[in-house]
Structures are given as structure tokens and as C-alpha cells.
Amino acid sequence: MTSSHSNILYRWPTDDLLCWLLRGLAAIAGLVVVFIVVFLIAETLPVLSHVGLERFFTDPSWHPAEGFYNLTPMLWGTLFTMAGSVLIATPLGILSAIFCHYYAPPILTRPYRRLIELLAGIPSVVYGFWGLVVLVPLIGEIHPPGPSLLSGILILTIMILPTIALMADASLANVPQHYLRGAAALGLPRWATIRGVVFPTAKSGLFTGVILETGRAIGETMAILMVCGNVVQTPSSFFDPIRTLTANIALEMSYALGDHRAALFVSGLVLMTMIAALTMAAEWISRGRIYG
């Protein structure tokens, strides 16, 4: 005779309780992002209702105190720094992962990987500070003024390089060993193996890495704020100072009121939209649809 308590059909009340508790906690965690979007939209509604969305792109200038809300120069600033740094960091990051897997002697592999991980962990304010005291004066000597689009691109490159390097490292590690052995048996030299076998196999992981680093480049605030000069203008050369969307929020939020404050939330919303588009692209790629 078994007691009901050891019957497998008997449900423990504590289990139900625990399950509901966990569901509650998970619901909080899941709702954070919804809250963020709701609050961003709620804060922008007043300005969107009586200024309208298109004036953020057609106004003559960004002078929020006088009611001009043109975000385009900042949008260009964000796009230029992002494009520049992604273009430089992607090949460097992928080559650095290739070094780790196929070129480095075993004694160098671990220290080098550790170094990339350390770089990934250094906070953005440290990169910004270093850029401000070392990089900006250097660029200032070549072509004044120092704080510029170029310094922003360089600092961002150093910052996002570990991201793409670690992602590329992980996706190269997933290339099946027998592919490499097959290539070696065919007598293919190292670079030919990498170009013909490794790249096609690891392609989707590498794309995901690029998208992740692009997201970091768009969202980066402090380092950019410290090295870019923060002049609201569409840059005409690499040595022009610029201001990005993120830097604009950080600079003006402390004293912004009313419509000005709401306008800053609009730029936050623009940033969120860009990130959401990237996340969707990442998901699309990881499902493999990019190959048809």
C-alpha cells in the first residue's frame, strides 16, 4: 500500500507555488523592455502631437530653445561613426580570430584570447578618457582641431573590435574538424583553406558578429561624447567635429525641459528603432534565410 504522498500522480502544492513565483519573476524580467518602449513613447507623445515627426528631419537647425528640432546632423554623425568603425573593425576582428585559430603557435593562443577578453571588459569611459588625452592631441597635431569624426571612428573601432573578434572566434570554433582535415589532405595551403572552407562554413556566425558590433557602435555614448567635439553639424571631412544622437542625449538631458526633453526622447526612440531593426536582421540571418 503506497501512501498518496509518494504517488507520482500527486502534485506537490509547493511545486505549483514555486512555478507561479518563477513565472511572476520572469514576467517582470520580460516586461522591462515593454516598459522601456512604453515610457519612451509616452514621453515623446506631447512633442510628436504638436510638432510632428517630419519636422525632426526638415527643420533648419537643432536649436530646441527656439523650437527647431532638426536631428539629421546627429543622425549623420551616428551613421558615419558607425559605418567607419564597422568597416575597419570587421576585417581586423575576423583576422584576429583567424590568428587565434590557424596562425598562432599554441603558446600564444591562450594569452592572445585572454587579451581580447580583457579588451572587451574595459569600460567605455576608460576608452573615452584614453582617446581624449592621447588620441585627440595626436590627431590635433596632424590636422587641428583634434576632436573629430576620425577620432570617434578610431575609438569606436578599438571598442567594438573585441566584440567581433570574440564572435568570430566562437563561430570559427564551430567549423567541423574533418573539413579542415579534408582540406589538408587535398594539400591546400593555409590561406586557401581559410578562404575556401572556413569562411563559407562560418559565414552566418560572422554576420551575427558584424550585427552585434554594429549595435554596439550605434549605442555607444561616453567614448564618443569625449572624443568627437560635439558640434552639431553634418561633417564634410574626417577632421570635422561631430555630435552623435547618443552624445546629444547625454549632453542636453541634464537641463532639458518640456519640448526639448521630449525631443531628446525622440532621439532615444530613433536609436531603439535602429537597434530593433538590427536585432531582427540578426534573427533572420541566424535562421539561415540569407542563403535562400
Window 33-52: residues binding another protein (CB under 8 A): 33-36, 39-40, 42-43
- The reply to whether 99 sits near another protein by the rule CB under 8 A is yes
Beta bridge mates, 68:
63
Burial class (CB in 10 A: 0-12, 13-18, 19+), 22: exposed
Among 65, 134, 142, 257, binds another protein (CB under 8 A): 134
Q: Report the SS3 class of residue 197.
A: helix
Identify the H or E element spanning 69: strand 68-69
Element (H, E) at 219: helix 199-219
Residue among 25, 45, 53, 290 that touches another protein (CB under 8 A): 25
User: Site for another protein (CB under 8 A): which residue of 58, 117, 138, 182?
Assistant: 117
In total, the chain counts a number of residues equal to: 292
Binding residues among 224-283 for another protein as defined by CB under 8 A = 225-226, 246, 249-250, 253-254, 264-265, 268, 271-272, 275-276, 278-279
Among 53, 61, 67, 103, binds another protein (CB under 8 A): 103
Pairing of strands 68-69, 62-63: antiparallel
Residue carrying C-alpha cell 587535398: 186
Q: Residue 59: how many CB atoms within 10 A of its CB?
A: 17
Of residues 189-218, those binding another protein (CB under 8 A): 189-192, 194, 212, 215-216, 218
Hey, is 68 helix, strand or coil?
strand
> Of 158, 172, 242, 285, which lies in the binding site for another protein, with binding defined by CB under 8 A?
158
Q: Is 4 in the site for another protein (CB under 8 A)?
A: no
Identify the residue whose cell numbers are 598562432: 104
Judged by phi (left if over 0) then psi (alpha if -120 to 50, else beta), residue 187 lies in left
C-alpha cell at 14: 509547493
Choice between 43 and 59, CB closer to another protein:
43
**Choices 28-36, 46-54, 56-64, 197-205; region in contact with another protein by CB under 8 A:** 28-36
Question: Of 16 and 236, which has the nearer Cβ to another protein?
Answer: 16
* The one among 53, 58, 114, 184 contacting another protein by CB under 8 A: 114
- By CB under 8 A, how many residues form the interface with another protein? 95
**Minimum CB distance to another protein, residue 58 (Å):** 24
- In single-letter form, the type of residue at position 172 comes to L
